Amino acid sequence: MSDLTPEAIEKLKRAPSIDGIADLILRRWSPRAFAEREIPSADLEKLFVAASWAASSFNEQPWRFFLGRRGDQTHKKIYDSLVEFNQGWARQAPVLVLSVGKTVFSHNDSPNAFGLHDTGAATANLALQATALGLHTHSMAGFSKEKARALFGIPPEYDMGAVTAVGYLGDPSTLPEPYRKGEVAPRTRKPVAEFVFSDWATPATF
C-alpha cells in the first residue's frame, strides 16, 4: 500500500486555491492508479449526459463515444488498441471510453474542421462531471487509431479523438514502478502570460 491515503493524495493533487475559480476545476486531475470498484450505471450515464451539453459548431454534436466496461468486448477492444505504455496502467480502469468526432456536418455534408475541437469540449464536460461524482478520468493519445478504427468499424468521415480511462482513485503502489512517483507529485501549470496573448507572443493584459 502507498504511504499516502487517498484523501492525502487528493489534497496533494488539488490545484492551489485561486480566488473565484470553481473548486470542481481545481480538484480535477488525471491519475493512473484506479481502484477495482465498479462505477454505478446511473453515475456512468451522468457522465455522457454532461458531455452532451457541450457547445458545438452549428449544434452538430459531432462526438461519438464507445463505452467499455471491464469484462465486456468493447473494453477489450479499446484496451487492445492501446500502446504497451498505457496498457501497463490502464488495465486497472473499470471503464475505458474511446471518442471520435464527425468531420462533416450532417445538414449539408460540408467539412467540419472543428469536429475534434467540439469532441474535446464534450470530453472536458465528462471529466468535470466525473470529478463532481468522486470519480477520475485520464485521457490518453497513446493508442493505435488504425487498430481502433478497424476493431469498431468506424466510418472514414469520423476522426479519432482519445481514449479516456474512468474510475475511482486507486493505490499508487499498484502501478508499475515508472508511474508511481508522478502519481504523488504536486501538479503545475504554465503561467497565464505564456498562453494568453494580445499579439503573437505578446502577453495580454487583464
C-alpha cell at 69: 466496461
Lowest mean pLDDT among 18-22, 50-54, 72-76: 18-22
Q: Among 55, 25, 48, 45, which Cα is nearest to 128's?
A: 25
Position 13 confidence tier, pLDDT thresholds 50, 70, 90: very high
Q: What is the pTM of this model?
A: 0.96
pLDDT digits (tens, 9 = 90+) for 27-68: 999 999 999 999 999 999 999 999 999 999 999 999 999 999
As a whole number, the mean pLDDT across the chain is: 96
Residue 185 has pLDDT above 80, yes or no: yes
Alpha-carbon distance of 132 to 65, in angstroms, equals 20
Whether the CA torsion 156, 159, 162, 167 is positive or negative: it is negative
What mean pLDDT comes out for the span 189-205? Answer: 97
C-alpha cell at 3: 504511504
44-53, 74-83, 140-149, 180-189: lowest mean pLDDT where?
180-189
By CB neighbour count within 10 A (0-12 exposed, 13-18 middle, 19+ buried), where does 110 fall?
Answer: exposed
Q: How confident is the model at residue 1 (pLDDT cuts 50, 70, 90)?
A: low
Q: DSSP per residue over 6-33, as a string?
A: HHHHHHHHSPPP-TTS-HHHHH----S-
Spacing of C-alpha 149 from chain mean position: 19
Percent of the chain topping pLDDT 70 = 99
pLDDT at 159: 98
**Predicted local distance difference test score (pLDDT) of residue 4:** 86
- Ordered alpha helix ranges (H), the chain: 6-13, 23-27, 41-52, 73-81, 84-90, 115-132, 145-152, 177-183
pLDDT of residue 176: 86
Which domains are delineated in the chain?
A: 6-203 (3.40.109.10)
Cβ neighbors of 142 (< 8 A, separation 6 or more) are 82, 83, 85, 86
Going by C-alpha positions, the residue among 64, 145, 66 that lies closest to residue 106 is 64
- 137-159 pLDDT, tens digit each: 999 999 999 999 999 999 999 99
Nearest partner of 58 among 123, 119, 105, judged by Cα: 105
